[in-house]
Structure 1
Amino acid sequence: MAVEKKDEQESESSEQVVNPWEVSGKIDYDRLIDKFGCQRLDVSMIDRVQRLTSRQPHVFLRRGVFFAHRDFNEILDAYERGDKFYLYTGRGPSSEALHLGHLIPFMFTKYLQEAFKVPLVIQLTDDEKCIWKNISVKESKRLARENAKDIIACGFDVTKTFIFSDFDYVGGAFYENMVKVGKCVTLNKSTGIFGFSGQDCIAKIGFPPVQAAPSFPSSFPHLFPGMNNLRCLIPCAIDQDPYFRMTRDVAPRLGYRKPALIESSFFPDLQGENGKMSASNPNSAIYVTDSAEDIKYKIKKRAFSGGQDSSKKQEGVGANLEVDVSFKYLSFFLEDDAELEQIFQEYKEGSMLTGAVKARLAEVLTEIVERHRRARAAVTDEMVDAFMTVRPLPRMFE
C-alpha cells in the first residue's frame, strides 16, 4: 500500500510503516485510524455486543486489542433484526511454527463464531506466500496444511467452518469474483493502495482480488447458494485493511454488500514496541512450540522492561507501563480483570518488581502454549481433510 511519506525532519527510527507485508516503527494507532479511515470501537458498541449475545465480551474486546472497525455497527443492527452474516478470516502460511501473535485473530474469531452462532470461512493464502516469500508451490501447500492444524487446534466447530487453500480452491464462482474485482481496479489505483512498483512481479499486482473474493458469499456456492445478500464480517489485524478498503470500494459496483471489519492492534515484539512479533526473528517471538523453559528464558532475558534498574529505584519511582512488554502481554492474555488491575497498580507504584511480573507472565503463557500443543497433537490429517472438504454446512446458523 502507499505508505505515508516520512517528514524529512523525522528520525528514521520513528517512521511508522504499516502495510500487509511489513509492520515497523513505533505504531501510532490514532494516526493509523485517521490514515486508513476506519473508526474506533467504543464502549457502547462493546456493551451492545454483550447485550445481543448474552455473554461477556471477549478479553480482546474488553482490553481494546480489537480496537477499530468498519461498519461493525451495521453487523450488530442486522443481527438484532434477525438477519444472518458469516465470518471470514485468514492466514498466510509462511512458517511451520506459529507464534502467539498468529493465534490472536483465531482466538477472537472462535469467540465471534460461538457468540453469534455463524459460519466461518478461513482462507489459507499459500499462493501469496509463494509469491512474496519465494517459497515453492509444494512447500507453500505443505505449510498451509500444517498451519491448518494449528487453526483447528483453536477449537473451531467443523460443522460451521470451511478452511480452504487458495491453490486448491480458486476457480469457478470464486475466480469469477476475482475477475470482477480485478476489472474494477486500475493499475494506478492498485499502486496507490499497495505501493507496488515497476520492480514487483505481476503476480503481486494480481493477488489483491484473491483476498477480496471471500468477502462475497457467491464465492462459496456450496455454502451460500442464493444468499448473495449475506453480510460478511472480517476479523483481522489492521495491517490487512488496505485489501478491504479496495474490496469495499468495488463491492457496490458489483452489486454486493460491503464487508464489515473488526481490526486488532499488533502483538508487540518481545524486545520492544517497534513493529510486531515476527516469526522470522526467534528473539522477538514466543512460539506455540516453545517449551516451558524456553518461554521462561525468553521472557526473563528478552522481554523489554519498563521497570527501573534497581529494586530501590523501582520502589520509589515505579514502572513505565507504556513500554513494558511483559505487562502488555498480560493485558492480552491474563483473563482475570481484577488481577490485571492489581498488577497494574502495584507495578506502576513500585510495590511489585519486574521479576514478579515476568514470572506471572511465564505462567500464563506456558499454560496457553501447553494447552495449544496438546490440542494440536490431537489434530489428524483426516481432521484437516474434513475441515477443507468442499461441502455444505447444513446447520451453520444454529
Structure 2
Amino acid sequence: MKLDPWGAVHVDDYSKLFVEFGISNFDQILSELENPHPYMRRKIIFGHRGYEPVLAAMQKHEPFAVMSGFMPSGRAHFGHMMVMNEIIWHQQQGGDAFAAIADMEAHAVRGISWERCRALGINEYILSLIALGFAPKEGSHIYFQSENYSMRNLAFELGSEANFSEVSAIYGFSGETHISHMESVMAQSADILHPQLKEFGGPKPVATWPTV
C-alpha cells in the first residue's frame, strides 16, 4: 500500500499499518483517561503512537500541549470539525493548544493564492474553531504558518538536518517536485515541535492530530 500524505487513501487492513508504524490500540489506555472524548469511547479514535506521556501529564497536572493544522485549500468539512473538537478537548483538559493554518503548504502544494489562503483560513477554520469552543486564553495559539517566525526559523534549522534522499523516501518526491513543496514538509515538522520551544514553556509532551 502506498500512503499519500496529500490525498485520500482507502485502507483495507489497519492491522498492517499498526505493525509497520508502531501504532498501539487506544483501548489499552482508555480506562486511564478520567474524561475520555466521545470519539475515544466510541472507537472513532482507535490507535495512537506515544500518547502515554500526554496521558501521564494530564494525570499529574503537568504541562502538555496539543497541536494540529488545517490546510486552507477549500471549505471546512466534517473531518476538520472532528480534529477541531479534539484540539478543544485537550485544551479543556488543561493543555496548551496550537492550531496552525497551513497557508505555506496550501500555497506550495495546491497552488492556492496567499489572498485565498488567508480568506479561507479566517472564514472557514479560525471562525469554526472559535465557534466550536476554542478558548482564546494564555497558552492558546492559532496562527498562519507564513506569519509565525518562531516556527519558520525552526523549520530552517530542521532543514539543515534533512536531505533530499530522506524526504524523497518518506514523501515520494522526485526531480519534478518544487522546492517550496519540500520546504512545506519542514514547516509541518516545525509545527509539531515548536510548542516545545522556550518561548512556549520548553519541553513538554505534545499530542498531535492529523492535518486534514
Q: Same fold (TM over 0.5)?
A: yes
Q: What amino acid maps onto 1:157 in structure 2?
A: A
Would the aligned equivalents of 1:86 and 1:231 in 2 still touch at CA under 8 Å?
A: yes
**2:15 is the counterpart of 1:30:** yes
Q: Separation in 1 of the partners of 2:51 and 2:196?
A: 21
Would the aligned equivalents of 2:53 and 2:205 in 1 still touch at CA under 8 Å?
A: no
Once the two structures are superposed, the pairs formed by residues 1-398 of structure 1 within 5 Å of their partners are: 4=1, 17-42=2-27, 44-50=28-34, 55=35, 57-95=36-74, 97-114=75-92, 116-146=93-123, 147-160=125-138, 161-169=140-148, 171=149, 173-214=150-191, 215-219=193-197, 221=199, 224=200, 227-236=201-210
Note the C-alpha offset of 1:80: 2.9
**Comparing both chains, which one has the higher relative contact order based on Cα–Cα distances under 8 Å and sequence gaps of 6 or more?**
2
Secondary structure of 2:137's counterpart equals: coil
CA shift in 2, pair 1:164/1:220, >3 Å: farther
Would the aligned equivalents of 1:94 and 1:133 in 2 still touch at CA under 8 Å?
A: yes
CA shift in 2, pair 1:113/1:218, >3 Å: closer
Q: Separation in 1 of the partners of 2:14 and 2:23?
A: 11
Note the C-alpha offset of 1:180: 2.0
Structure 2 residues not aligned, in runs of 5+: none
Identity %: 22
CA shift in 2, pair 1:26/1:82, >3 Å: closer
Secondary structure of 1:88's counterpart equals: strand
What is the CA RMSD across the aligned residues, in angstroms?
A: 2.0
The CA deviation string for residues 30-56 of structure 1, in whole angstroms up to 9 with x for no partner, is 2222232322212x4111012xxxx3x
Q: Separation in 2 of the partners of 1:180 and 1:27?
A: 38
Q: Separation in 1 of the partners of 2:12 and 2:89?
A: 26
Q: Separation in 2 of the partners of 1:165 and 1:76?
A: 28
Q: Separation in 2 of the partners of 1:217 and 1:207?
A: 18
Q: Separation in 1 of the partners of 2:91 and 2:161?
A: 32
Q: Separation in 2 of the partners of 1:117 and 1:83?
A: 9
Secondary structure of 2:8's counterpart equals: strand
Would the aligned equivalents of 1:88 and 1:120 in 2 still touch at CA under 8 Å?
A: yes
Structure 1 residues not aligned, in runs of 5+: 5-16, 241-398
Would the aligned equivalents of 2:106 and 2:117 in 1 still touch at CA under 8 Å?
A: yes
The CA deviation string for residues 325-360 of structure 1, in whole angstroms up to 9 with x for no partner, is xxxxxxxxxxxxxxxxxxxxxxxxxxxxxxxxxxxx
